[in-house]
Amino acid sequence: MLQASGVLRHRKQEIDSKTMIDVAARIIDLYRRHAGAWTTARGTVLSERAWIERFANMVRRGAAVLDIGCGSGEPIARFLAARGHPVTGVDGSPEMIALFRANLPGETADVADMRSLKLDRRFGGLIAWDSFFHLAPHDQRMMFPIFRDHAEPEAPLLFTSGPAFGEAIGTLEGEPLYHASLDPDEYRLLLDRNGFDVVAHVAEDPDCGGRTVWLARQR
């Protein structure tokens, strides 16, 4: 089962394809309108510490990290910054970026849709935790060249997905929240084609709230 941004579990609903497309298109708007509520629900407890620490330990000392779908910056970007990694956060919601800048004034944050991200620089690590899985399958496939173009050699990439191909709808403040996943074999193929080797993959990790987690490294 997917999770709604690491906070809200969601149930799979049977809905028609047009409705699914409409819900997928409203993700940024949903997070714009409910940025404060999401931030409160997310809290500051780093429940995913084991994975974030493993990722951070793979990042070159002092190297910058790109947080894709960074939200408010709490608690992941704060943890990485405290480890000595300058963080650049990007999010499609201006309201989330405003919260990020207030929480982490020493770090960089920009409003940007990850699907068209082009920063013209590379980073020592990339993370798309509980954000990438809000993209429709065809948009997820297009993200892997974007990951490649922003990764330094040997940079780790950490992201969450679902355990198998499919789409599901959760809720955020009572409104439908879209999630999708490719098949694990397709993720492996896309990673390999874009120069990443899989380091670890755990489906529905019981020690991380049931998340399905991928950790890879750029060659």
Planar angle of CA 65, 68, 74, nearest 5 degrees: 80
Do 72 and 42 contact (CB within 8 A), yes or no? Answer: yes
Report the pLDDT value the prediction gives residue 1, as an integer from 0 to 100: 33
CATH entry, 3-218, from 1.10.510.10, 3.40.50.150, 3.40.50.1000, 1.50.10.10: 3.40.50.150
| pLDDT of 170 higher than 70 | yes
Q: For the chain, what are the domain ranges?
A: 3-218
In the structure, what pLDDT confidence band is assigned to residue 147 with cuts at 50, 70 and 90?
A: very high
93 has a pLDDT exceeding 50: yes
pLDDT at 15: 61
Q: Tens digits of per-residue pLDDT, 113-130?
A: 999 999 999 999 999 999
Query: Strands 125-128, 65-68: parallel, antiparallel or unpaired by DSSP?
Result: parallel
Would you say 11 and 170 are in contact if contact means Cβ atoms under 8 Å apart? yes
Query: Range with the lowest mean pLDDT among 21-25, 143-147, 182-186?
Result: 21-25
Q: At what angle do helices 184-193 and 137-149 cross, to 10 degrees?
A: 30
Could you tell me which of 186, 100, 200 has the C-alpha nearest to residue 156?
A: 200
CA dihedral 71, 34, 167, 75 (to 10 degrees): 30
Task: Tally the C-alpha atoms within 13 A of residue 110's C-alpha that lie toward its C-beta.
Answer: 10
Q: How high is the pLDDT of residue 118?
A: 98
Give the pTM.
0.92
Section 31-38 average pLDDT: 97
CA distance 156 to 175: 34
Distances (CA, A) of 11 to 3, 48, 167, 210: 9, 22, 11, 13
Q: Give pLDDT tens digits for 70-84.
A: 999 999 999 999 999
